Chain A
Amino acid sequence: MRGITFDIAHMLAGSLVLVSFMQLYQDRLYALLNTFALHAFILAASVAWQAFIQDAPHLYLTAMIALVFKAIIIPVALHRIIVKLGIHREIETVVGVGPAMLLGMGLVALSMVVMLRVTAEADPLAREDLAFALSVVLLGLLMMVTRRNAVSQVIGFMSLENGLVLAATGAKGMPLVVEISIAFSVLIAFIVIGIFLFRIRERFDTVDVQALDRFRGERR
């Protein structure tokens, strides 16, 4: 069971968690975008590897979608948006980098416990892969929660979605339809958030989402 093929799949899943941590660590928007591109690239590699070992050609398509959309188009587009809007290139954080990473550790531990308990009978490494996927999802959420900047929230959302794809491909074949619909939903989310970004920027001259709170009168 412990062949080199499995090891590589495992390694890629692990790297995805690692890159999620790297995202938490970044404090510059451009660096964050690059890290996100790396995230998507590793996801693509991981999915492609799954396609290879499961002999499931449709997964190659998923990998292609991940590579083209998430690793290239979306980062480039976001990059442009940042330039166009003249957004601050530093990321305003709610929680500092250190505590955020500590929280992240806790989340990884949590997802380990949950996954290993729920899937008691499954193959050990697959269980760990699932735990990794859940960690990526949770880390994405954590990033959305701990960052004020709307762009980094978008990226948090996307990496969350990457975690879902990872989980799905690890679980021996998700129907292509589901994947495509996920891909499109992400695209739509991206567009919506992009417009949203423009709108906030137009009104408040900043993309700090705290501005919205002020607007709603929640913060004095």
Chain B
Amino acid sequence: MMIVYALYGVAALVVLAPIAIAFGPSPRATSVVYGTSLMITLTLGVIALLCLFGYSDPSTVTLPLGLPWLGAHFRIDALAAFFLVVVNLGGASASLFALGYGRHEDSPQRVLPFYPAYLAAMNLVVMADDAFSFLVSWEFMSLTSWALVISHHQVAENLRAGYVYLLMASFGTLALLLSFGLLVGDDGNYAFDAIRASHPSAALAALVLVLAIVGAGSKAGVVPLHAWLPLAHPAAPSHVSALMSGVMTKVAVYGLVRIVFDLLGPPDWWWSMAVLAVGGITAVMGVLYALMQHDLKRLLAYHTVENIGIIYIGLGLALAFKAGGMPLAAALALTAGLFHVFNHSVFKSLLFFGAGAVLNATGERDMEHLGGLIHRMPQTAFVFLVGCVAISALPPLNGFVSEWLTFQAILLSPQLPAWGLKFLVPAVGALLALSAALAAACFVKAFGVSFLGRARTPAAANAQETDSNSLAAMYFLAALCLVAGILPGFFIDALAPVTKSLVGVSMPHQIGVEWLSIVPIAESRSSYNGLLVFIFVVLSGSIAAFAIHRLASDKLRRAPAWDCGYPDPSTSTQYTASSFAQPIRRVYGATVFRAREIGEMPPPGSMAPARLTVDLHDLIWDAAYAPIAGFIGYAADRLNVLQFLTIRNYLSLVFAALVILLLVLAIWP
């Protein structure tokens, strides 16, 4: 029954779009649209939770839409319910944030109509139960988000981002279309039930897998298909960036999970190698790219790429264990991956909201122009810090728990029989560890350069704390980071039905464990108790503070900074985002980005300033995208001739095409 209510909710969101158009540029439209979206997504989230906990039978609803002989099937099973929770949690918090943030929008009429439609599309993708409605919703999601990306169309950069995004989205949908086409086979039954029942041959499955990784992966932003993501995500308004990064990439992950774990039948072991390799490379490349950025929102977008890599590693391990006949370990790995899906949607939304608040307060996205915001925006700084700690996978917050589970899954993998995995898994483990450490560096930079230090521009020096709606959304997500970090057992148990439906078993029940620890396999093997660690840290910190203030000294006086005796009042003597990343750039960038530092010293006696330029190459862009773009440009130039033909030439072209088609028909067996 729940599915019907859910569809009503989606319909309400769709209806909201034309209403938003009707309002036009009126200022009231903002609160109406975001307020209604908030209510609807909250309702949808509750419905999804009820479905996840099994209060509703996963029955299919068929609507007379789409292909006439097929109709559109919708269904909420455990997997869909979990992703619906993620989608609507993100949607609700983004709507709440936008209640405040959206008021600063220059041209709200370019954002408001597409926003509810975008939310509706993401819900529909997850609920779809046949290939046709899945693809249509997927494309609907791409188009609405594209419209949101170019909502600030005055900026040329945004238009380019929209263009690249549109191309990549079409490419991804094409790959998914082919993938589903192969899955469906000759009998042409698009319903997921029918696909599930038919088992494709090994070669076909391989092709489907590759296409699914390409199609869903291009939306999720796996390397090397990530090129559009860091352009498009920051271009949209911040709450939409949060949705794109925090939620839409998860919908893409859903697509992969649905195809690979559910529809494609029992896995082969090498499937996992493909997913693991992609995941490991994506994780490290994503964070290295992020470290090189000085645009706050772009840094966050690149960092999404890293987290998608981590999620893929979890999924890949789950596939490996499933293929290797170790269902319990598969459940652990899958739980790790899905828990990270949830966690990332929470803290990435939080961080994008923070970046949006900063953007509103200062008009700056470039970290080199920020600094010292902690004094002017203490609350935003606090919640942003929580997000940074969580995303850097540091205890006691939630990011750590999902990475910890992934590590535990890796430690189970030596028992896997396949040879290739024996070498790949430790390497992927090292990549995961490397990316975790680099992520911490990345967020020290993001937080330290934008919020700490001294203000680098007047805009940053005069920033004002953001409004209460935005803060409420951010506090809510920050609280969620903490709760999921110290009480992960509840979340792991909530994932049990999902893993049960995909790999047959679920992780041991966690809520009953003493002291609310989590114990993935056995207590002698490993356990983690976020709650106790948190209480310990808080207690010992307070004891130290209390004891010292009581027994020793609590006096404090302010003075100019010491700075080894050479304090400089100029704020440009601080470390900037680029200089902070310099050691890391030297260590990794020389190979990965062919980074070169070119110093230009003026000749002695000249008063000209010395210059240091850093030269970075995006090798992936150079190797994969530039040639294609060049080729397309070349082909377009050649085809340009077609514009200047006579009518007779055009007619003969049409005639030739007709004859060739007829010839093909004649020759075709």
Genuine A/B complex: yes
- Asked if B423 contacts A113 (CB within 8 A), the reply is yes
The answer to whether A109 touches B423 (Cβ under 8 A) is yes
Partner of B590, one of A96, A109, A112, A113: A96
Residues on A with beta carbons closer than 8 Å to the beta carbon of B591: 96, 98-99
Complex: A112 Cα to B422 Cα, angstroms? 11
Q: Mark B493-516, 1 if CB is under 8 A from A, else 0.
A: 000000000000000000000000
Residues of A within 8 A of B590 (CB): 96
Q: Tell me the chain B residues, 302-333 only, with Cβ under 8 Å from chain A.
A: none
How far is A112 from B423 in the complex, measured between Cα atoms in Å?
Answer: 10
| Interface band, chain B | under 10
Residues of B within 8 A of A98 (CB): 587, 591
Residue in A96, A99, A113 whose CB lies within 8 Å of B419: A113
Type the 1/0 row for B554-587, where 1 means its CB is closer than 8 Å to any CB of A: 0000000000000000000000000000000001
* A85-102 contacts to B (CB < 8 Å): 96, 98-99
Taking CB as reference atom, which chain B residue is nearest A112?
A: B423
How far, in whole Å, are A31 and B419 apart by their CA atoms in the complex?
Answer: 38
From residue A54, how far is it (CB to closest CB) to chain B in Å? 31
- Which residues of chain A are near B587, meaning CB under 8 Å? 98
Binary A-proximity of B587-600 (CB < 8 A = 1, otherwise 0) = 10011000000000
Contacts of A96 in B (CB 8 A): 590-591
- Measured CB to CB, the closest approach of chain B to A50, in angstroms, equals 28
Mark out the residues of chain B between 387 and 434 whose CB falls within 8 Å of any chain A CB in the assembled complex: 419, 423
User: Who on chain A is nearest to B426 by CB?
Assistant: A109
What separation, in Å, do the CA atoms of A113 and B419 have in the docked complex? Answer: 8
Indicate with 1 or 0, residue by residue over A86-126, a CB within 8 angstroms of chain B CB atoms: 00000000001011000000000100110000000000000
Q: Which residue of B lies closest to A116 (CB)?
A: B419
Which residues of B590-616 have CB atoms within 8 Å of chain A's CB atoms?
A: 590-591
Q: Mark A38-51, 1 if CB is under 8 A from B, else 0.
A: 00000000000000
Considering the complex, give the chain B residue whose CB is closest to the CB of A102.
Answer: B591
Cβ of A109: which chain B residues have Cβ within 8 Å of it?
423
Question: When chains A and B are docked, how far (Å) is the Cα of A123 from the Cα of B212?
Answer: 43
- Nearest B residue to A95 via CB reads B591
A contact residues around B419 at 8 Å (CB) = 113
**CA gap between A109 and B591 in the complex, in Å:** 22
A94 to chain B, nearest CB (A): 13
A96 to B589, CA, bound (A): 13
Task: Give Cα A112–Cα B419 distance, bound, in whole angstroms.
Answer: 11
Closest to A113 in B: B419
The smallest beta-carbon distance between B94 and chain A, in angstroms, is 42
- Give B419's nearest chain A residue, CB to CB: A113
Residue of A nearest to B430 (CB): A105
Closest partner residue, chain A, to B587 (CB atom):
A98
| A98 CA / B423 CA spacing, docked (Å) | 19
- Min CB distance A138 to B, Å, is 15
Mask of B282-309 contacts with A, CB within 8 angstroms, 1/0: 0000000000000000000000000000
Interface string of B421-453 (1 = CB under 8 A from A): 001000000000000000000000000000000
A118 to chain B, nearest CB (A): 13
* CB of B226, distance to nearest CB on chain A (Å): 23
Q: Which of B68-127 contact A (CB under 8 A)?
A: none
**9 pairs of A and B residues whose beta carbons are closest in the complex:** A109-B423, A99-B591, A113-B419, A113-B423, A96-B590, A96-B591, A98-B591, A98-B587, A112-B423
Q: Kindly list 7 other residue pairs between chains A and B, CB separation below 8 angstroms, not including A96-B591, A109-B423.
A: A96-B590, A98-B587, A98-B591, A99-B591, A112-B423, A113-B419, A113-B423
Question: What are 9 sample pairs from A and B whose C-beta atoms fall under 8 A apart?
Answer: A96-B590, A96-B591, A98-B587, A98-B591, A99-B591, A109-B423, A112-B423, A113-B419, A113-B423
